[in-house]
A = this chain, B = another copy of it.
């Protein structure tokens, strides 16, 4: 599973290590045994939070702390880091133990997100604050250009509606597709259709309202 071409990964992340062993360590999951990437992850998490806080502070001079904090959370949360990992095809490079390998750990969101933080820590050790900051601002360029104060705290349906309105598109169309199970234990399947998406996106949950939110969140992931 481990790709033998770390140059490709370094091109993807936009950074070439002076000390290859740091990159190797950042890619070594605890399950592989021996020294692993968790200490680098600890360091990288702190560096990431600092760089993002600094950037948001300066980019949004009129935005209150109450809005800056959730914006930072959105940018540094595991889901976002896992998206970055996938864009680097990082799963192909992570060294896992046999158990995690078998169960497809290289696709697991938390393992991907942790490895991204470990890479940040490794770059920080390899060449300091400024290089790490520069790399992170490149990774986050689009997300920083599109993030909006106040949006991230709102629920997915509201955010989806606001984004479509700002793009002058039609509002999403939610339809209940299926209701299964007994009264106290029902499962609702809802579809959400949006202009520009080829087919409706399905959300499943224990209530109609929740299933709509799930579908809206999935649509947002494709749109943003």
Contacts and interface: CB of A to CB of B under 8 A. Distances in A.
Interface string A111-145: 00000000000000000010000000000000000
A63 B35 CA distance: 12
B64 A39 contact: yes
B53 A42 contact: yes
Closest 9 CB pairs of A and B: A46-B53, A50-B50, A38-B65, A42-B65, A46-B50, A43-B57, A46-B49, A42-B68, A39-B65
A41 B53 CA distance: 11
B41 A46 contact: no
A121 B72 CA distance: 16
Q: How many residues of A sit at the interface, in one of the four size bands?
A: 20 to 34
Interface string A82-125: 00000000000000000000000000000000000000000000
Interface string A52-79: 1110010000011110110010000000
A26 interface: no
A27 to B, nearest CB: 16
Contact of A54 (B46, B53, B54, B57): B46
Given A64-B38, A65-B38, A43 B54 contact: yes
